[in-house]
Chains A and B, each alone.
Chain A
């Protein structure tokens, strides 16, 4: 049996005049966490719906666990777990009732597969009588994950599970995904948060319906292709404007407490930049070589032509 769990080839899909996806191809291998990284409206949800057999592609083909999404959708529906982007549980049912309902819908019982959700469900157990609608964002996410897992799916489709969730709950959520992966489940997950990319084995950077790049996060970062400098100073906003007026600057973006700068000419020395900034009245500027992150790569790839 092949190791490919999800296979997609040249998938395109239009909504009216909008090309939601154009010619998207990729493979997910067994036991892999595959991340779709991109902003809202990039086409992530459309791709999820096509792979979970909820939508038909206009062209291209795709299979999940060897079954065709168009013709063998019933087989796929038996085998996958899906967590849509919106909060998709019954708000007026309790935590326990929700889990019990989804277990039955998928022809199983909580008892039979409790071991799969145990680690996550113990955190919910104190609130099991509470209505799902009254849970906090992080808790809702955990319950939705339990419901998607309860029938022991081979592949999990998680569409933006961490959107709008605070950083602490997000971190916990990714730790849970790590455990599931070790349990042998393949996961396709999407997120608009670039910092979550490094938690995936392979990522696809997606924008405006096309993949900018597919590779491991390490390779994507290593392929950045430009030396990156971190610049900081006292008045960061003035510094940003002046950096952009420096001749030979290729890109300059604020990144937390520093600005990330690349030069169009690699031979430009940092001393030259420092002098330029001093002339502009920035006295205490601090320059050092930095390492590009996924977000640098994303912006670099999405703005090849007009980087500023």
Chain B
């Protein structure tokens, strides 16, 4: 609650939180089917209808209402983005921390494995995983999660290495603090800032990767809508029905903006140094 209040007071946090709130609302409504129309129903007469009072964002080639599909798609895309980034953050942080802490051989082994993963283009690696396991929401989540794990491992390892050298870690050793205590209180707590920034960035990338996978037909399966799928379907109709591209693109863009603004605000709020210096 304290953090929510602080976000509301933070200038850019306010905007970001507002955007995310609108998206959450849209996603919840979409999930419960409270949409202007059924997202799967095809209004054959109104195919490629321009935005109007009936169809707020127009209709697609099959006459489905774009607004309703977007509302459903936001939920789908965001669940995948959040879940995969959560996996990547957890796995990457643990790997990066341990690599930095153990050092030497383990550092070499863990980080070389991460380098191998990082060497593949993200979408190609995701494709590979999906090709082995088969498409579906869970596979998408797992694939995107694995793809972004090395980035988190790298982001964590660098600062963790320098924190490890700081005097307060040595001080903790002289008190006899346990390794777990040092890793969590002294290293992890100081990694909050780079991690929040990375999470907000990764959320944006994950949205795009999901869109890319769906575009290739390996993410969300039609007829269920997702932002990426809608974008890919609109590709051939760009000149005849630009709204079909415009709205999903705007939704993705604003969503990413929302995450980034909120992330910036969180980073500031979680840093005790920004809570004003005492004279």
**Is the pairing of A and B real?**
no
